[in-house]
Every structure is written in structure tokens, then in C-alpha cells.
Amino acid sequence: MALAKQSNHGEESPAVSCKRKDMLNLSLKDYMDNAQDIVNAFIKAAQFLADNHIYSARDLPYNTQLIPLAAILAVMGSNADIAGNKQKLMRWFWCGVFGELYGSASETRYALDLPQVVEWILHNGPEPKTIYDANFNPSRLFTLRTRNSAAYKGIYALLLGTGLRDWLSNAKIDIQSYFSERIDIHHIFPVAWCEKNKIPSAEYDCIINKTPLSSGTNRFISGDAPSRYLERLARKIGVTGQEFENILSTHQLDPSYLYADDFNGFISHRKELLLQLIETATGKTILRDDEIQEEGVYLGEENGVALSNESKGLNSE
């Protein structure tokens, strides 16, 4: 990305471009002036990802989003370490992930991200277009089944950030246990049980029926019904009653559905809890399936204001 130095607030900033030709057209002086800043920014981006519970390359939602992230961090410098600024940057990041906005050619978005995000964070400017464009459809949860989807990996990271505990060891899942206990995302209602009960793979394989657990816990669960493996887990760790349910609940679920082997009730309830997690991360309300979304047009490229058709006085007839 061609790094453009930002001018003082209120002055006209240089245009930002990030096409391959712009990189090739950089002078040696421009490269040398900015190279170390960008290197440091990518190192800082790695820490930013770890702070957001993205610990390995395979769990990174978008490689492409690292480009504007590093450029923003380079321009912001030490201002990126301020708690309020970091929170806003995290919101921009999660809007990109759950809006699934960096999956294709994104040079135009990169060029908007740098000036808009910096202006928004440092000078309380209008929300960036990436935040405005972000939209998550609740039905998308049923189609997130593999790490091929950025939003799938995003939900995995959000779950890791909720303070969940492993069901077998009762240890908090953090960056240390992530590696030492080989934490991965596993089915809650086991595949063997789901197939035996004729539940479609499109339903049991989706992110709603998955949660981070250690490899040992996953083996212990085996293919049993939840009501059976929970009983075995409770005996194994020597914890019962409300204390055990509290451990289970850290995974954003209601244990009563597991004890009743109620797959449909579980899916419906956990779907809502995951949507609430996404809403908190993005700072945007997700319209539920029975709500109608109003269409709007983003005018921020000119004046940073997003207006709906109604507020612009335009009627669709």
C-alpha cells in the first residue's frame, strides 16, 4: 500500500492509492522514509490480532484486511495505543470481518479506509464507509461451516474472547491453553448423534453448533448425546449442579437444551446469543429475520454523511 502522510486536521490531505503500480512508482526516498514505519505497523497489527484472540494464521479472517490495518496503525503511531482509539479500531476491524467486505478486489476500500478511519478515530469524523457498509444477515450463521469463511473465523475469535472455559479441564481458554491444549472448534451436538437422529448436515455442521474445546475434551465427548456426555464430564471433573452449568454457559449456550437433547431449541437460542456477540463487536444492530431493512445510500466519499432515501426526500413509487 502506498502510504500517504496525513496532513494536519483541517488541511487538505493527499490522495491515497494502493494499486500495484503505485508501489512500483515509489521513489527510493519514499520507500526508505516509510519502510520502517510499515514494518513496525505490521508487528503492531500482529499484537492487535492477538488482543482480539486471533492467535494463528489459519484463524485470520482476511489477509487482505492487514493492509489497511497496518497503514492505519503506521499513521496513528502511539495514538493507536489509547484505549478509546483502540476500541474504535476494533469496531472497524469487526465490521470488515462480519460485513465480509475484504473477500474480493479491495483497492478502492483500502484507499478509503486509511483517511476515513484515521479521521474518525483521531478527530471524531464521520463513521468510515466500511462501518456503514457492514451488514450481517442472521441466516448467514447457517451457511458458516468451515474456515473458508471470514465470518466463521470471526465468530470463533469472539467466542475465545468471552472468557470461556474448557469443559474437561475447567481451565480458562486463553493464548497459552490455545496452544498447549490444542484448542480447536468442535461440534456441541456430535456428528454421530446428529446423523443417527436424522438432522441435516447443513444444520449440525454450522457455526451455531460449534465451540472452542481442547482436543482431549472432544475425544471425551465422542459421539454421545449431550445428556450422556455431560453426565460423564461432570463425574470426571468432580463438579455438579450450578457450578458445572456455569462452566458450560461460558460457551454462550443454555445447558438445559443439552440436558434435554433438544437440538432445535439449542440452535434457536444460541443463534440469538451469537448475533448479540456480533452486534457488540460491530456496534451495529442486526435486523432479525422478521424485520425489514431500510435501504440507504452512503454519501461519505464526499461529505462523510450516510442518508436513507427517506431522509434525502426521495420516494420509491
pLDDT of residue 291: 53
Helices in 124-225 by DSSP H: which ranges? 129-133, 150-160, 175-180, 191-196, 201-204, 215-221
Residue 6: Cβ-neighbour burial (10 angstroms; 0-12, 13-18, 19+): middle
Q: What local confidence, expressed as pLDDT, does residue 236 receive?
A: 93
- The pLDDT of residue 201: 94
Q: What is the pLDDT of residue 108?
A: 86
Q: Return the pLDDT at 35.
A: 86
**Residues near 44 by beta carbon (within 8 Å), at least 6 away in sequence:** 70, 73, 80
Instruction: Retrieve residue 285's grid coordinates.
Output: 444492530
What backbone phi and psi angles, to 5 degrees, belong to 184? -150, 175
Phi, psi of 185 (to 5 degrees): -95, 130
| Spans of the chain below 70 pLDDT | 1-20, 105, 290-317
